[in-house]
Chains A and B, each alone.
Chain A
Amino acid sequence: MAIFLTKDSRVLVQGMTGAEGTRHTARMLAAGTDVVAGVTPGKGGRSVDFGERTVPVFGSVAEAAEETGADVSVVFVPPKFTASAVEEAVSARVPLCVVITEGVPVHDAIRFRALAAAAGIRIIGPNCPGLISPGQSSAGIIPADITSAGRIGLVSKSGTLTYQLMYELRDLGFSTAVGIGGDPVIGTTHIDCLQAFQDDPATDAIVMIGEIGGDAEERAAAYIAENVTKPVVAYVAGFTAPEGKTMGHAGAIVSGSSGTAQAKKEALEAIGVRVGKTPTETARLMRSALGSR
């Protein structure tokens, strides 16, 4: 098992015929993903040859889902087309929609998040690296060859920190790693993933990676205190970030006394979650939490 994505997931790629879409579809296939369809409006009826597999292209998500039984959509379309692509996946009732696109207007994200919530559809992202259940399936751009399958769950706002931790703990391996994205408004939160990892029999422990801005980590801490019995270790990036400057992610900004890394660390430590000073120390904490060296 794993969370959100397993070997049985049937993945369609919106924007598969674009350069990014094609490149990452090839990588997803190489990671073992069952990519069953591509969707590009106006290009239905074609197919793309990836060597080991030829993937049919459909003109709409509804058609692709109907024909192939796809239950995960990965969105690689440019920002100005992202809202309509996601809304299409939502109205086609694809249960999981992973939005990789960076630069989506926040008003669009709020709107498609609300539509998805009303329809019971899970959105991951936007501006995220997606998720991977190593050895089973990958939906997005997380490199598959830096880690292995195992029993750690990981949730992170940041893509490269996800990779760093997956690499540091590659010998232990992961059930699922989810990059939820660094935008101010995202579909799936830390708490959603913590809940899923807690319920997942294939996950023994959880790494949570946060960063400055907002109060998602504080809320996650409150959630962990009440609901999570599996060991959680955490890492928070941005202790040296000055107030009022956006650090790369649109959501990563310290405003006034709120959103600081220190406040997040304190909130997590107050409920017994150990917080690493560096990614490497965080990996060490996870090893000791799992009782291995």
Chain B
Amino acid sequence: MDLYEYQAKELFGRHGIPVPAGRVATTPAEARAIATELDAPVVIKAQVKTGGRGKAGGIKPAAGPAAAETAAEHVIGMDIKGHIARRVLVEAATVPFEEYYAAFLVDRAEGGFLAMVSAQGGMEIEELAARDPDAIVKLPIDPVAGVDADTARLLAGKAGLPEQAAEVLEKLWRVLVEEDAVLVEVNPLISTTDQRVMALDGKVTLDDNAAYRHSWEYADESVTLEAQAKAKGLNYVKLDGKVGVIGNGAGLVMSTLDVVAGAGAAPANFLDIGGGASAQVMADGLEIILADPDVKSVLVNVFGGITACDAVANGIVTALQLLGERGHGRPIVVRLDGNNAEVGRRILSDARHPAVRQVSTMDGAAELAARLAAGA
């Protein structure tokens, strides 16, 4: 889960990392009130979980409360690469003397942690890596020993950051560890003319798997089908095609999307019902897919390992009964193999539902679903 900048900065603040004074606002009036309180020139920053908001006009300086209100009016509601800015961070304007880059992250390739620090901050790290890879100091971090004061000094020294930055690096590592983050990134980390080091921006990605041991209250504000699916324990991603796809196991579902695309149709979604799915889970999945008006045909592709195909078949039959008219007669192509596949196939043929068609291979099923979607 990615955090907004203001949430990342709240976390930084709790861990003793200096950040500019400021607060988040959802209305122009609130922005004005915060600017009044700060009693200084401010910056209005769109809160969106995507990069490039500066270029898109999502960051505006304001000399005082009235200007802050006007700027907030402009920024709130702004669409930045498909992300709507529902909030702005109103923050005391801070002039950097120098800009740096600092991050700790999970390094997948090595299965460990990595520190990345550079004396050249402010631009996207990918851009910097392409332009001047030697400017980035990369250091693997021992997961048991972690980052102590010595390691932090070493990092700051190697990268050419001032001594005061070492303390911030050590605290940033604590954020990664104590908050179960997979990424903490400060870009830019700045020093001021009076030699204070401060996080001017912040990006934090938390590990959803660790939610059970934290009291995170970062609400998912989306009212999308994806959020509804998540609430039912289903893994659903909306795509823009016409063939709805349900399968078991992330790999098989991804593969099914590709096979549908290979058959000349675009998949409408990714939906993984997971291992050992019950009839109820299958029914929930089908309901979510058929709630998408873009879907013209559905492909159910299940290879039963733990999942029993008879449960899947029962789920399809139950879902079709529950959905009734809401299914709008859209065809459902089913391919079942593996655990109890024969029983599952029999359940479906005995049900004789007009919308359901069975195909014995994955490629064949994808072709039929693609053809039916095109003809609809």
- Distance in Å: Cβ of A235 to nearest Cβ of chain B: 8
Known A-B contacts A242-B239, A248-B250; A237 and B255 likewise in contact (beta carbons under 8 Å): yes
Q: SS class of chain B's interface: helix, strand, loop or mixed? A: mixed
Contact of B250 with A240 in the complex, beta carbons under 8 Å: no
Contact of B212 with A251 in the complex, beta carbons under 8 Å: no
Which residues of B have CB within 8 Å of A237? 251-252, 254-255, 258
A window 141-179: CB within 8 A of B: 141-143, 146, 156-164, 167
Partner of A256, one of B109, B126, B144: B126
B88 within 8 A of A: no
B window 287-325: CB within 8 A of A: 303-306
Contact of B207 with A160 in the complex, beta carbons under 8 Å: no
A225 within 8 A of B: no
B28 within 8 A of A: no
Q: Tell me, in angstroms, the Cα distance from A233 to B207 when the chains sit together.
A: 34
Known A-B contacts A240-B258, A280-B363; A157 and B251 likewise in contact (beta carbons under 8 Å): yes
B331 within 8 A of A: no
B window 134-191: CB within 8 A of A: 142-144, 177, 180, 182
Contact with A along B251-274 (1 / 0, CB 8 A): 111110111111000110010100
- Distance in Å: Cβ of A47 to nearest Cβ of chain B: 25
Partner of A79, one of B106, B212, B247, B272: B212
- Distance in Å: Cβ of B138 to nearest Cβ of chain A: 15
B contact residues, total (Cβ < 8 Å)? 52
Which residues of B have CB within 8 Å of A1? none
Known A-B contacts A105-B207, A278-B262, A278-B363; A247 and B108 likewise in contact (beta carbons under 8 Å): no
Q: Tell me, in angstroms, the Cα distance from A256 to B52 when the chains sit together.
A: 13
Partner of A164, one of B112, B113, B239, B303: B303
Of the 9-residue stretches A65-73, A88-96, A213-221, which lies at the interface with chain B?
A213-221
Contact of B305 with A248 in the complex, beta carbons under 8 Å: no
Q: Tell me, in angstroms, the Cα distance from A278 to B258 when the chains sit together.
A: 8
Which residues of A have CB within 8 Å of B338? 143, 146, 163, 167
Contact of B255 with A161 in the complex, beta carbons under 8 Å: yes
Contact of B251 with A211 in the complex, beta carbons under 8 Å: yes
Interface range on chain A (Cβ under 8 Å from partner): 35 or more
Which residues of B have CB within 8 Å of A240? 239, 254, 257-258, 260-261, 266-267
Contact of A248 with B210 in the complex, beta carbons under 8 Å: no
Which residues of A have CB within 8 Å of B118? none
Contact of B255 with A163 in the complex, beta carbons under 8 Å: no
A56 within 8 A of B: no
Which residues of B have CB within 8 Å of A246? 237
Q: Tell me, in angstroms, the Cα distance from A242 to B266 when the chains sit together.
A: 12
- Distance in Å: Cβ of B125 to nearest Cβ of chain A: 11
Which residues of B have CB within 8 Å of A106? 106, 180, 182, 207, 209-210
B228 within 8 A of A: no
Partner of A160, one of B106, B247, B361: B247
Contact of A248 with B253 in the complex, beta carbons under 8 Å: yes
A window 57-105: CB within 8 A of B: 79-80, 102-105
Query: Across the two chains, which residue of chain B brings its CB closest to A109?
Result: B111
Known A-B contacts A215-B109, A280-B363; A164 and B207 likewise in contact (beta carbons under 8 Å): no
- Distance in Å: Cβ of B271 to nearest Cβ of chain A: 9
Q: Tell me, in angstroms, the Cα distance from A209 to B249 when the chains sit together.
A: 14
Contact of B106 with A219 in the complex, beta carbons under 8 Å: no
Contact of B106 with A185 in the complex, beta carbons under 8 Å: yes
5 contacts across the A-B interface (CB closer than 8 A): A103-B209, A106-B210, A156-B251, A250-B208, A278-B363
- Give the top 9 A-B pairs by smallest Cβ distance, nearest first: A158-B251, A248-B250, A160-B249, A160-B252, A105-B210, A237-B254, A161-B251, A237-B255, A238-B254
Interface residues of B (CB under 8 A from A): 106, 108-109, 111-113, 126, 142-144, 177, 180, 182, 207-210, 212-213, 235, 237, 239, 247-255, 257-262, 266-267, 270, 272, 275, 303-306, 337-339, 361-363
Interface residues of A (CB under 8 A from B): 79-80, 102-107, 109-111, 113-115, 129, 141-143, 146, 156-164, 167, 182, 184-187, 209, 211-216, 219, 235, 237-242, 245-252, 256, 261, 277-280
> Given A105-B180, A237-B255, 18 other A-B contacts at CB below 8 A?
A104-B209, A105-B209, A107-B210, A114-B112, A159-B249, A164-B362, A167-B303, A167-B337, A167-B338, A184-B108, A185-B112, A240-B257, A240-B267, A241-B257, A246-B237, A247-B237, A248-B251, A250-B209
